[in-house]
A = this chain, B = another copy of it.
Amino acid sequence: MKELTQSEENYIKAIYYLQKVMDKPVGTNDLANRMDTKASSVTDMVRRLSEKDLIIYEKYKGCELTITGQEAALKTIRKHRLWETFLVEKLNFGWEEVHEIAEQLEHIQSVKLTNKLDEFLDFPKFDPHGDPIPDQNGKLAQREESFKLIDLEVNVPAIIIGVSDSSASFLKYLDKHGIQLGVAVKVIDRFEFDHSTEVLINDKMLSLSAAASSKITVQVK
């Protein structure tokens, strides 16, 4: 299995992600959209990837990862999340700054480096956004059952364990309101008409939009 180019690694990651969320073959436009390129470019690339047996692709039918492709995806994701952890834990970056840099660092090719970094960080199981970090064998830590904050029942104490949107704008918004991983939350009230939620966080009341609360993952204590 030869090394992948940066572009190939990025595509493989995107396919991995889309496969997960839509649970059916990934269409050319979905990919083009996610990768922020044109459909014609995607068609070219999926040809190459399928040539290398990283995906199964049939004209007009979309694509999905082979086992080899999944392994490749997990390797890249492992690197990405380890680097994000490094940037936050060791270099004191904010969690909203690290994704972009990790997009580059994830392409560094050295298994030894990855494993030494892992060790240096004390084998973290989750990255700064609460996403699981694949281990050397590509295995992901299994989480206790978790919900989106928007689905958490009223008056049930819970803890914030992740976010499903790592965009700088969202994360900065959370920072402003003292919302971090590990913090306790309780839903005090919810309004049917717009699904906005009143929550208690850090002893302060806060009203969250449906958009926000649907992107925050919590776990009941």
Q: Which chain B residues lie closer than 8 Å to A113 at the CB level?
A: 87, 91, 101
Interface of A is mostly: helix
Closest chain B residue to A108, Cβ basis: B104
Chain A 99-120 interface residues, beta-carbon cutoff 8 Å to B: 100-101, 104-105, 108-110, 112-113, 116-117, 120
A108 touches B117 (CB 8 A): no
Query: A169 at interface (Cβ–Cβ under 8 A)?
Result: no
Q: Which chain B residues lie closer than 8 Å to A116 at the CB level?
A: 91-93
Q: Once bound together, how far apart are the Cα atoms of A97 and B105, in whole Å?
A: 18
Q: Which chain B residues lie closer than 8 Å to A90 at the CB level?
A: 120
Q: Which chain B residues lie closer than 8 Å to A110 at the CB level?
A: 100-101, 104
A91 touches B120 (CB 8 A): yes
- Interface residues as binary, A85-96 with B (CB distance below 8 Å gives 1, 0 otherwise): 001001111000
Q: Once bound together, how far apart are the Cα atoms of A105 and B108, in whole Å?
A: 7
Q: Which chain B residues lie closer than 8 Å to A93 at the CB level?
A: 112, 116
Closest chain B residue to A92, Cβ basis: B116
A149 CB to nearest B CB, Å: 31
Could you pull out 19 A-B pairs where Cβ atoms are within 8 angstroms?
Answer: A87-B113, A90-B120, A91-B113, A91-B116, A91-B117, A91-B120, A92-B116, A93-B112, A93-B116, A97-B112, A100-B110, A101-B108, A101-B110, A101-B113, A104-B108, A104-B109, A104-B110, A105-B105, A105-B108
